[in-house]
């Protein structure tokens, strides 16, 4: 089976991020690992990943989730999907906040890039319809995350 071809548009809006090329390569590896593990078929899709700071993330989190605080990653699916649905031409947007990623990685004793790849995978699964609103859905999503990250040589983020 040919794999899903995903065009990834990476943008750095704010925060002390590495260069766009490095972020694009890291994002590509994470998304490709997810596509391979999930066995997604051959179709073309577009995905946007925005790298920003806590201030911008706080505003988005307040506007879209009613939570007036920053968070690590937010996903905005272009269309509602359920896990296993074939993705359409537009997947949606993933937004990631630098300071939160950095502080979480430090607090949990994880390499920054490993934690960032985990959050790209997490956000990507959300645009594909995965969620963690209840225990059953959370277990399914976390199992997918663990398998994808293991394929990249990254330790279980939930252990």
Torsion of CA 116, 119, 121, 122, to 10 degrees: 170
User: Could you write out the three-class secondary structure of the chain?
Assistant: CCCCEEEEEEEECCCCCCCHHHHHHHHHHHHHHHHHHHCCCCCEEEEEEEEECHHHHHHHHHHHHCCCCCCCEEEEECCCCCCCCCCCCEEEEEEEEHHHHHHHHHHHCCCHHHHHHHHHHHHHHHHCCCCCCCHHHHHHHHHHHHHHHHHCCCCCCCC
pLDDT score of 85 more than 90: no
- Cα distance between residue 141 and residue 34, in whole Å: 12
Task: Give me the pLDDT at residue 147, please.
Answer: 97
Taking the whole predicted model, whether its pTM rises above 0.85 is answered as yes
pLDDT score of 139 more than 60: yes
Task: Give me the pLDDT at residue 5, please.
Answer: 81
Residue 15's alpha-carbon distances to 11, 57, 66, 103, in angstroms, are 11, 11, 23, 13
Q: Which domains does the chain have, with CATH numbers?
A: 5-151 (3.40.390.30)
pLDDT score of 148 more than 60: yes
pLDDT band at 4 (very low <50, low <70, confident <90, very high): low
pLDDT band at 143 (very low <50, low <70, confident <90, very high): very high
Mean pLDDT for the chain?
92
pLDDT in tens, 36-67: 999 886 668 999 999 999 999 999 999 999 99
pLDDT band at 1 (very low <50, low <70, confident <90, very high): very low
Task: Give me the pLDDT at residue 145, please.
Answer: 97
- Cα distance between residue 8 and residue 25, in whole Å: 10
What is the chain's alpha carbon radius of gyration, rounded to the nearest angstrom? Answer: 15
């Amino acid at each position: 089976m040919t794999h899903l071809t995903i065009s990834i548009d990476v943008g750095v809006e704010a925060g002390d991020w590495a260069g766009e090329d490095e972020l694009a390569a890291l994002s590509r590896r994470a998304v490709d690992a997810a596509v391979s593990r999930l066995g997604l078929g051959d179709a073309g899709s577009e995905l946007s990943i925005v790298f920003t700071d806590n201030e911008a993330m706080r505003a988005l989190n307040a506007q879209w989730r009613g939570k007036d605080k920053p968070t690590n990653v937010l996903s905005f699916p272009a269309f509602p999907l359920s896990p296993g649905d074939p993705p359409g031409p537009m997947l949606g947007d993933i937004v990631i906040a630098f300071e939160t990623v950095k502080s979480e990685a430090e607090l949990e004793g994880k390499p920054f890039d490993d934690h960032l790849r985990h959050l790209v995978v997490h956000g990507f699964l959300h645009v594909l319809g995965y969620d963690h609103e209840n225990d059953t859905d959370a277990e399914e999503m976390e199992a997918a995350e663990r398998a994808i990250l293991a394929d990249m040589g990254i330790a279980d983020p939930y252990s």
